[in-house]
Amino acid sequence: MTLGLAALLGMSVFAPAAGAQSAEADCRNLPTTPSTSGWTDYAQLEKELDRIERTSRGRVEVSSIGQTQLGHEIYAARVGSGDQVLLVTAEIHGNEKTGPEALLSLLKTLGSSGNPQVQAWLEDVTLVAIPKFNVDGAERNQRQNVFPWADVVEQFPQLEGAAPAWNYNARIGGFDVNRDFNPDLDYEPRAEDLPGGNLEPGFYLTNEARALRDLYVELRDEFGHVEAYVDLHHMGPCNQVDGDGQYVSVALDYPPLGPDDSDKYDAWPALDQERSRRYALAAAEGMFDKAGNGNGQSSPFFGGVTRYLHPEWRDLPGQARSSFALNGTSTVLFEVRGQQQAWGQKQKGMLTAVVEAGLVGIVERMADGSIEQMDGDDFYELPTYGWDQ
């Protein structure tokens, strides 16, 4: 660990900002409601991506990678000409809304900034961003997508009579898309594999997962390797930093594939958890940079940056980031605290900025090569938060 980083991490969290991070009232885990006022919806996303593409004068390219069950396009925006690919998705869970805002803001900057530093990033990195991945879920402000089991069987007749997949919610009529991935990128759904479970890979049943898998394979064919993948989430419950009492702004994570000494994935030699931890640490450093102190002093900007633990039961190969990591991509999860319905404008702006800063932290360190000099185990210096195992 470098001295600078040690100093930074020694002050493991920033002091709470007055009114922004300390009040329990800001931290309620409210049930999902239809209210998404103030957040970018699908119609606004289309307009915004169109504007970003036009004003970028060719720097940003927007395309559709597929359609949801309700016929919405799943848009990907691509910017940069570097040979290192960073793939990012937001709103794989449709009620987790800071990610799209952060990605749109980053795309605006990368698409139109004349700053030489930004130009340098774009020479070394190609960003492919999907700002609103589970559009149908997002439009209903629900975690799951929309894909009734009868429609699944119509699309995959070989599943007639099989039990619905474990990640299907019959009441909602949709899937947790982030359990629908499989490290076998050629996998096709088979009745004998259903219903499955969280310790097993998913089935590529949903349009969303199939579209992202196809994009991943295309990028791998084009670039030889997909360097990194980031998935942007919210954690729902509002936790406090261990031993500290202030609230978590964001928790970062490397792939949840059981304990670090697990041998379950020995058949996947491309998995490199240490490398994923470097990328997660790069995100944390980007957040610290944004806090503007760099010396570990308390910041008026945001609260705690923490990490997840990896007990035996956190073994989720069906998550997109797990499946891609088993194929050799470094992957990072951002989980922003709380549910956005409980937030005021100030908190919305702050948490969106934290997410964007984390993405910039990764892009910057990929572009200048410093991620190669990092020690992924320094990630363990981040505090955990007070969750019940």
Q: What does the binding site for Zn ion look like in residue numbers (CB under 5 A)?
A: 93, 96, 233
- Please, what is the minimum distance in Å from the beta carbon of residue 96 to Zn ion? 5
- Please, what is the minimum distance in Å from the beta carbon of residue 378 to Zn ion? 26
CB atoms within 10 A of CB 157: 7
CB contact set of 343 (below 8 Å; sequence gap of 6+): 26, 351
Q: Which is nearer to Zn ion, 93 or 310 (CB)?
A: 93
Q: Which is nearer to Zn ion, 73 or 96 (CB)?
A: 96
Q: Which of 32, 132, 97, 36 is nearest to 337 (CA)?
A: 97
Q: Which is nearer to Zn ion, 93 or 275 (CB)?
A: 93
Q: Which is nearer to Zn ion, 9 or 320 (CB)?
A: 320
264 alpha-carbon distance from chain centroid: 24
CB contact set of 371 (below 8 Å; sequence gap of 6+): 278, 279, 282, 362, 365
- Please, what is the minimum distance in Å from the beta carbon of residue 16 to Zn ion? 24
- Please, what is the minimum distance in Å from the beta carbon of residue 76 to Zn ion? 19
Q: What Å distances lie between residue 189 and 7, 76, 177, 376, CA to CA?
A: 50, 25, 15, 35
Q: Which is nearer to Zn ion, 153 or 342 (CB)?
A: 342
Q: How far apart are CA 265 and CA 271, in angstroms?
A: 8
- Please, what is the minimum distance in Å from the beta carbon of residue 93 to Zn ion? 4
Q: Which is nearer to Zn ion, 126 or 322 (CB)?
A: 322
Q: Which residue type occupies 120?
A: A
CB contact set of 354 (below 8 Å; sequence gap of 6+): 249, 250, 287, 290, 301, 302, 336
Contact 16, 303 (CB under 8 A): yes
Q: Which is nearer to Zn ion, 12 or 178 (CB)?
A: 178
Q: Which is nearer to Zn ion, 78 or 143 (CB)?
A: 143
Name the pairing type of β-strands 84-90 and 330-336: unpaired
Contact 79, 56 (CB under 8 A): yes
Q: Which is nearer to Zn ion, 299 or 331 (CB)?
A: 331
Measure the CA dihedral 191/177/28/341, to 10°.
Answer: -130
- Please, what is the minimum distance in Å from the beta carbon of residue 143 to Zn ion? 7
Q: How far apart are CA 332 and CA 177, in angstroms?
A: 17
Q: Which two tokens stand for residue 12?
A: 């493991």
- Please, what is the minimum distance in Å from the beta carbon of residue 341 to Zn ion? 15
Judged on CB neighbours under 10 Å (0-12, 13-18, 19+), 217 is middle
- Please, what is the minimum distance in Å from the beta carbon of residue 320 to Zn ion? 11
- Please, what is the minimum distance in Å from the beta carbon of residue 178 to Zn ion? 6
